[in-house]
Amino acid sequence: MISKITMLLLLLITINSYAQEDAWVYLTDKPNEATALANPISILTQKAIDRKQNHGVAIDARDVPVHEPYIANLKTQTGITVLAKSKWFNAVHVRGTETDINALSALAYVDSIDFANNNLDAPSRASVVNNKTKIEDQLVDFTYGDTQNQVEMINADNLHLLDYTGENITIAVLDSGFPNVNTMAAFQRLRTNGDLLDGYDFVTRNADVYANTASSHGTRVLSTMAAFIQDEFVGTAPDASYYLFITEDATSENPVEESYWVEAAERADSLGVDIINTSLGYRVFDNPNYDYTPADMNGQVAYITKGASIAAEKGILIVVSAGNSGATAWQTVGAPADSPDVLTVGGVDDNGDYVSFSSQGGAAQVGYQKPDVVARGGLAYVVDEDNNINQNNGTSLSAPILCGGIASLWEAIPDTTPTEVMDLVRQSASQYTTPDDLLGYGIPDLDLARSLGLGEEQIDSFNFYPNPVTTQLNFSLISNIDYTITLNNQLGQEVLRTKLNATHNAINVEGLSTGLYVMQVSSESTTKTFKLIKQ
């Protein structure tokens, strides 16, 4: 039995651990703003400048770094620890007692203070934020191996066949750890091609992003996009370029991780990154005083959500996992997946059916749909930190699977803006006209999105899954076209012929013998042939 003295000691430890508060300190100005904006190459890379110009994004005061003398002075204040900074918000994340943090208000360069514990704020979070203004040169015919289903489900394989594999697209992965990416065989192709660009650990402030081995989550996330094992595993964007940033502290849950994320997004923006993938989400913290509520998931409250919206405004396409709270009392998406400006990806299984853990849309998202779309997150295939192919559950995987596919799509339609790309992905999805809170607009067909983006008059696109198949073969038929499906065995004998359309879109193949089949899909204007494996 625990004695009263022991219980009191535990209580005191708990109280002391919460005596340190987290807060965002917003600053009044950037004294070097005019000089920096007159010479943008001093604060941005040329790639970032070019990307902004291509997308019509203005270079403004938010691109100017936080004034370093202000930060240096904050570090000298009594009881204050500086943990992160944000040029977009012109803010610094600090930790200290409530008294010491409030004392910062007396500093001439401090505009306002926003505590992570909302009960300590004088103004609301919203009011503070509203005042603050990102293959090679030959045709490819991959043998996908284990990843065949998750690649074909979103029709990324057709993009690959057209030689769109993510080349010239730069992706920043914001996650919790990337052990062995710099050495393991699955990423050798990435390293050989010079597509593993750089990294940084914002949690430990270490340039060696591979030194942090507290979590291998980022390695697995990256593998769904970038890994390549001959005839066994192909990511959805094997020829994109990647920056790796650690923003998640795997040992704790604290709002400072939101600040790390914003800082990394700002770094990505300055480097000219095209897409950010993040399989992270924030709802509750070790200190319950910092917790969000489902009602807060309205795109306006969470610091990370507001940062993600600014990143999108800066011309970066943000792909975010919906979260894994669908079967819990929380149920709805977390932050930053609640931002209306990001593409939020939920999860389905290999048959394209909703998986119960995938976070859902909720009442807080007024006037916009969450999740936006879905991809395979149920028992998706990954490469782990030991170079083994495994299956994991989570929207942490459906988001990067689709993110890589979008990189391949964007290579095919490079003149489109991030907003246009997201709209095309939604329009191509299987239930675009009837979205719901489970699947959003449904499973995207990225080859159809390419056709829509190119303005092709004849849209004749289809997608089928799973492959290999056991009982039922499903088809995503987007256009109002009748198809004839023919299956031939390895001897060339026809074993099945049927008609499909948008309402009749599945075939029962349970009675077929196991083995390889050739499936021919025909419409009035075209015929395509695919390999189908019956298990």
Tell me the average pLDDT across 151-162. 94
pLDDT in tens, 360-418: 999 999 999 999 999 999 999 999 999 999 999 999 999 999 999 999 999 999 999 99
Tell which residue, 396, 306, 402, has the closest CA to residue 359: 396
Tell me the average pLDDT across 171-183. 98
Tell me the average pLDDT across 228-250. 97
Tell me the C-alpha to C-alpha distance, in Å, between residue 397 and each of 49, 227, 345.
31, 13, 9
Return the higher-pLDDT residue of 3 and 319: 319
Half-sphere exposure of 391 (CA within 13 A, CB side): 11
Confidence label for 96 from pLDDT (cuts 50, 70 and 90)? very high
Dig out the tokens for 192 from the structure: 């050989």
Where along the chain do the CATH 3.40.50.200 domains lie? 148-454
Residue 200, pLDDT above cutoff 80: yes
What would the CATH number be for the domain defined by 462-534? Answer: 2.60.40.3080
What is the average pLDDT value for the chain, to the nearest integer? 89
Residue 527, pLDDT above cutoff 80: no
Residue 480, pLDDT above cutoff 80: no
Tell me the average pLDDT across 118-134. 44
Q: List helix spans (H) across 76-229.
A: 98-103, 125-129, 148-152, 156-161, 188-192, 217-226
pTM: 0.80
Beta-sheet strands, E only, within 326-366 = 343-348
Tell me the average pLDDT across 138-145. 70
CA distance 338 to 348: 19
Confidence label for 469 from pLDDT (cuts 50, 70 and 90)? confident
Tell me the average pLDDT across 481-508. 84
Residue 478 confidence (pLDDT)? 57
Confidence label for 258 from pLDDT (cuts 50, 70 and 90)? very high
Tell me the average pLDDT across 458-471. 69
Do 444 and 319 form a contact (C-beta atoms < 8 A)? no
Residue 119 confidence (pLDDT)? 87
Q: What are phi and psi of 533, to 5 degrees?
A: -110, 125
Do 466 and 441 form a contact (C-beta atoms < 8 A)? no
Q: Catalytic residue numbers?
A: 175, 217, 396
pLDDT in tens, 9-56: 333 334 444 589 999 999 999 999 999 999 999 999 999 999 999 999
Residue 139 confidence (pLDDT)? 42
Q: List helix spans (H) across 115-181.
A: 125-129, 148-152, 156-161
Do 101 and 114 form a contact (C-beta atoms < 8 A)? no
Pairing of strands 472-477, 506-508: antiparallel
Return the higher-pLDDT residue of 528 and 171: 171
Where along the chain do the CATH 2.60.40.3080 domains lie? 462-534
Residue 451 confidence (pLDDT)? 84
* Architecture of the domain spanning 148-454: 3-Layer(aba) Sandwich (3.40)
Residue 136 confidence (pLDDT)? 30
Residue 492, pLDDT above cutoff 80: no
